[in-house]
Chain A
Amino acid sequence: MTSRKLWRFHGGVHPPFHKEESNQLASEFAGIPAQLVIPMQQHIGEAAEAVVKAGDKVYKGQKIAVADHHGISANIHAPTSGKISAIEERVLPHPSGLPGLCIVLDSDGKDDWGDCKLTPYSDYQNTEVSELLQRIRESGIVGLGGAAFPTAVKVSGSLNKAVSTLIINGAECEPYITCDDRLMRERSAEIIEGIKILQYMIDPQECLIGIEDNKPEAIEAMSKACETEENIEVVTIPTIYPSGGEKQLIKILTGKEVPAGGLPLDIGILGQNVATVYSIYQAVVKGIPLISRLLTVTGNGIQRPQNFEVLNGTPISYLAERAGGYTKMAEYLIMGGPMMGFALRDDHIPVVKASNCTLFVSSTVLNESNSAYPDQPTLPCIRCGKCMDACPLNLLPQQLYWHIRARDFERAESHNLKDCIECGACSYVCPSHIPLVNYYRFAKGEIREQTETQEKARRARQRHEFLEFRKAREKREREEKRAAHKAALQKKKQAAAKARAATNGAAGDASDSKADAIKAAMQRVKAKKQARAQQAKKQTKEQTKPTKDAPGINK
């Protein structure tokens, strides 16, 4: 809470924040729904692979899916005890609305851990760093700020690099969402403990907890909890969207900018969300894998907005019921906040590790903060440049927009489209209500597809060339073999002849003498024939002598 020099990132907006609606009540455990649907892909990277089958009985905390060991991935654990009723495709909490593989778990209500709890490391400071990292990996912890990047991968990447600053992200800048706020108010000591585990592991020079100034209670609670810690500092930052973006928060707290296409680690910074740090604490000190999290159920479409501790895989409909049911205003169901979230089509979809908010709102309220939903008519771009002033990454949103409308993705890319974090600040300020972010999402998808097609073409070319090469090689080999065979045969013949010549000189070869005999016989026959012919000629001459005009046989 000292006065610290803060920086400003470019742009930013002040949408209506709507935090009071859900942050007044203390968080509650949402309870165990009758059925949990647990998607296999809840994180960035490769989907986890189920290690249970339908009909299996599982305990709470039992590993039901293992991380794909080829790439970036994370384990998934049973959020409660019960029976696996199916492993099948269910609709995922994803903007596509497409189904994906899920484990369906019918809970038995006992919430029985069995012996699946991991051994707690009460004295983590005397534990090997690699062991702690293994625990984080084993517990399936992913970044709970929204991106769901496996935490073990992120932390292990920072182990052999000098990390100057560890930034704990408690900014929570997205409107409506208050789960980190409540977490910091209610479990500050555990968060600090989690931070200390990270400090022990990566040994940063300083550790900053960034919290927006619209959360005074959280700031107070956190400051109190880290009073005795020398190396942890709570920094109050001004409320501006999107200060909770990793790169934006780094800029605010340190003045450093992450290079385009780079990682915070490149400039010696590691960022972690407060909820992630809390789950690290849970995994290391309590031995509890990531099976639940705090989640905000809010919006004017819900009776009693509140934060809940929810089990991974809880259906949204169950949460809506727990929060008093829907109001008449419930038109949209948004996963995440109004700025960056996406609409879901029905409420049977489960919440996952990365879900921090389910927002039930009417279209009017939603359009207040986001024009990317289709209720407002779009007007032509008037080139006012407001989006440019609002962009936190200093991009040129309207240029991107024009290029994408013209399907000129290459030009859009050259305007650094890939640096766009899709925060929605440009759409928010657009006086023409152009859903700018949707254009960028569309273009990113197209560019990704193009790159994939090119990669596939490259591989196909390689395979085709290898096939040609293989065919040529096989042909050559066949010919060589034939030639070799021929040569061998000839050699054998020659060798035989040589051997024959050799043996001939000494005792006379059987086959040779045979041939000679045949030759001799043939000559004898020839001679005989000749003799016979001559005799016959003589005879005919003698016979034909008296009758001179008789026709000759030989004529």
Chain B
Amino acid sequence: MIAAILVLTGLALLFGLILGYASVRFKVEGDPIADKIDSLLPQTQCGQCGYPGCRPYAEALAKGEAPINLCPPGGETTMLALADLLDVEPLELDEEANKQPEVPEVAFIIEEDCIGCTLCIQACPVDAIVGSAKHIHTVIESECTGCKLCLPPCPVDCIIMKPLKISPNNWKWKPPHSIEKDYPVIPSSTESELEESV
């Protein structure tokens, strides 16, 4: 009896020491979970989640301080991916998220109206606006994340959001229209119901 207790205590101590040593010796720099979360976020850096960028939101998520449904640009896909990664229940997206446009948008500067104040350049989180003081600015379309952060600072309201142009290069096939959708995948109804749905 006593021998058993001693052995177990000894083992517990031993493993405790090993674990303690390992936690010091193999300490991981940074926050791997936040990194993983960050890689799922759309990186628009729009701040719509209430955090100043995607990384801070990822860190808040990693600490469990933020809910997973705060990212409107990511939409349902991102939310589900986060739920999957963090092993939490998927949450309803709020209204804001459902208002996201179907086609991704990018900012566009109406150059005739631009006064060259550089305010939008300072607001852009990804350096996607080029220009300098008293020179017309323009948006690098391929780098714009569509975060809309450049809209409010513009004193002459010359920035608008434009849907990305669909060309034969980025066009994709639509899901096939199939009447099969009307059938239940697991036949639970009677034949007459099936006929009706045809």
Contact = CB atoms under 8 A, between A and B. Distances in A.
B189 to A, nearest CB: 13
A41 B168 contact: yes
B96 interface: no
B166 A442 contact: no
A457 B42 contact: yes
B168 A457 contact: no
Nearest to A460: B43
Interface string B151-179: 00000000000000011111111111111
Contacts of A445: 171-173
A448 B169 CA distance: 11
Interface stretch (A62-70, A373-381, A545-553): A373-381
Contacts of A444: 173
B173 A463 contact: no
Given A377-B179, A434-B178, A435-B178, A464 B43 contact: yes
B183 interface: yes
Contact of A442 (B167, B173, B183): B173
Q: Which of A379, A439, A457, A459 has the most CB of B within 10 A?
A: A457
B183 A380 contact: yes
Interface string B25-52: 0000000000000100111110000000
A158 to B, nearest CB: 27
Contacts of A29: none
Q: Give the interface size bracket for A toward B.
A: 35 or more
Nearest to B124: A467
A438 B177 CA distance: 9
A456 B74 CA distance: 13
Given A96-B168, A100-B168, A464 B176 contact: no
Given A460-B43, A463-B126, A464-B125, A438 B173 contact: yes
Contacts of B170: 449, 452
Nearest to A404: B175
A461 B177 contact: no
B118 interface: no
B41 A463 contact: no
B193 to A, nearest CB: 14
Q: Which of B45, B55, B180 has the most CB of A within 10 A?
A: B180
Interface residues of B, number: 32
Nearest to A466: B127
Interface string A97-137: 01010000000000000000000000000000000000000
B180 A434 contact: yes
B168 A442 contact: no
A457 B43 contact: yes
Interface of B is mostly: loop
Interface of A is mostly: helix
Contacts of B176: 372, 435, 438-439, 442
A80 B178 CA distance: 45
Contacts of A434: 178, 180
Contacts of A461: 38, 43, 54
Given A460-B43, A467-B126, A441 B177 contact: no
B53 to A, nearest CB: 7
A378 B143 contact: no
A464 B168 contact: no
Contact of A92 (B166, B168, B172): B168
Contacts of A456: 43, 145
A372 B125 CA distance: 45
Contacts of A374: 177
Interface of A: 41, 92, 94-96, 98, 100, 372, 374, 377-381, 434-435, 438-439, 441-442, 444-446, 448-449, 452-453, 456-461, 463-464, 466-467
Interface of B: 38, 41-45, 53-55, 125-128, 143, 145, 166-180, 183, 198
22 contacts: A94-B168, A98-B171, A100-B167, A100-B168, A379-B180, A380-B183, A434-B178, A438-B176, A439-B176, A442-B173, A442-B174, A449-B172, A453-B42, A457-B41, A457-B42, A459-B143, A460-B42, A463-B128, A463-B143, A464-B53, A464-B125, A467-B127
Closest CB pairs A-B (n = 10): A445-B172, A96-B171, A460-B43, A457-B43, A438-B176, A441-B173, A463-B126, A442-B173, A461-B43, A94-B168
